[in-house]
Amino acid sequence: MDFAGFLGNPGVKAAVQDAFSSGRFPHTLILQGDPGTGRRTLAGVIARALVCQKRDKAPCGICPACIRAQAGSHPDIRVLEGKGPGGNLTVDMVKEIQEDAQRMPDEADYSIYILCLGDHTLEAPQNKLLKLIEEPPGSAVFLLVCRSAQTLLPTIRSRAQVLTLLPLGEEEAARWVQAQKGIEEAAARQLALLCGGNLGRMLGELESGAQRQAMEVARAMIRGMTVRGGHQLLRAAAPLQKDRALFGEVLRRLGMIFRDACALRWGGKTLLGGAPEEADLLGDLPQRQLLSLPEVAEKYRQGLERNGNTTLLVACLCADLRAAAGR
C-alpha cells in the first residue's frame, strides 16, 4: 500500500498493510487518536486503496477510481460527519447507513463508510451501530474515526480492530513542516515542540499565523492610504510581492474592510472585516471614491488569480488605492 500523506505511525501502517494483503479486510476499524494525528487522512488512504483498480500499489492515484475518490465523488465511499455542536453520531445517521449498506457497491468490491464520531455519542445510536457491525452487509467496511475508543460501547470495540494514531516525533514533524511549508528550521522546530509533533495542530498554528499577518498588512495598508505621500502604503504592501497566498488573503480582507467603510457611511452597524477603526478612518473619503474601493480590491483579486506578476500588481494596487483615497 502507498500511505503517501499519512506520516509516522509505522505499527498502524503495518497492521493496515497486513489486513489489506490478506484479502479479507476487517468490516470495522476504529481509528483513535487526537485530532491532528492523521485519522481522516488514514481513513481516506484506506478507502482509496479499497476502491483502487491496481491492487499492488494501491491507492495508485492515477486509475479512474482513485481520481474519483480523490475528488470526493466515488459512489462507494461515503463520509458521514456527526451532527450538532459535539459532532456526535445520531440514530438517523445510522439508519441512513443501514439502508445504504444493503445495496451492492456500484463499482468497487467494497462500500466504505467513514464515520467521524464526536466524543459523546449517545447510547441509542451506538446500539444501532452495534447491530449494523454485528451482522455487516458483506461488502461494507466501516471506518470509525474518534478521539478514543473508550467513548464507544465495549461491544463495539470488541468487534472492531482498533488502531491508535500518535503524533510524530518532534524531529520528524519539524522536518516535514519545514519541507512542506518552506519555513526556517528553527521556527519549524519550535512549532513542533509547541504542538508535540501533532501535524494537524502545527498546520493550524501556521494558518492562524498567516491570518494574523494578513490582517496586520491590510490594516497597515489602510493607515498608509490615509496619510500623504505613498511611502507608508508601499512599505506596508511590500511583503505581498513575495507571497501570493498572503496577497490573496490581504485583498480579501481589504475588500471586507472597504465594504465595512461603505456600510458605516450609510449607517450600517454590522461590520464583518474585523478592523472597525480602519473602516472608520476611510469614512472621510468622498462618496464616489469610497464606493470604488471594494471594486479595486476585487479587480486585483482577479488579477492575482490570473497569475499576474505580483510586483507589478502591488505597484498598481497602491497607485489605485492612493488615487481612490485622493492622496
Q: Which residues bind Zn ion (CB under 5 A)?
A: 52, 60, 63, 66
Pick between residue 16 and residue 177 the one whose CB is nearest to Zn ion: 16
Q: Which is nearer to Zn ion, 53 or 190 (CB)?
A: 53
Continuous segment of H or E residues that includes residue 217: helix 199-225
Least CB distance to Zn ion at residue 113 (A): 20
Provide CB contacts within 8 A for 303, sequence distance 6+: 313
Nearer Cβ to Zn ion (50/221): 50
Mention every residue, 6+ apart, whose C-beta is less than 8 A from residue 212.
none
What are the CA-CA distances from residue 34 to residues 26, 145, 164, 199, 200 (Å)? 23, 10, 9, 11, 10
Report the residue number, 112 or 262, with the smaller CB distance to Zn ion: 112
Tell me how far, at minimum, the Cβ of 112 lies from Zn ion, in Å. 14
In the complex, least distance from residue 314 CB atom to Zn ion, rounded to whole angstroms: 43
Choice between 66 and 317, CB closer to Zn ion: 66
Which amino acid is residue 137, in one-letter code?
A: P
Alpha-carbon gap, residue 208 to 169, rounded angstroms? 23
Q: What distance in Å separates the CA atoms of residue 300 and residue 322, rounded to the nearest whole number?
A: 14
Residue found by looking up cell 469614512 in the block: 283
To Zn ion, the closest distance from the beta carbon of 41 in angstroms equals 17
Instruction: Give the SS3 label for residue 169.
Output: coil
Q: What minimum distance in Å lies between the beta carbon of 77 and Zn ion? A: 13
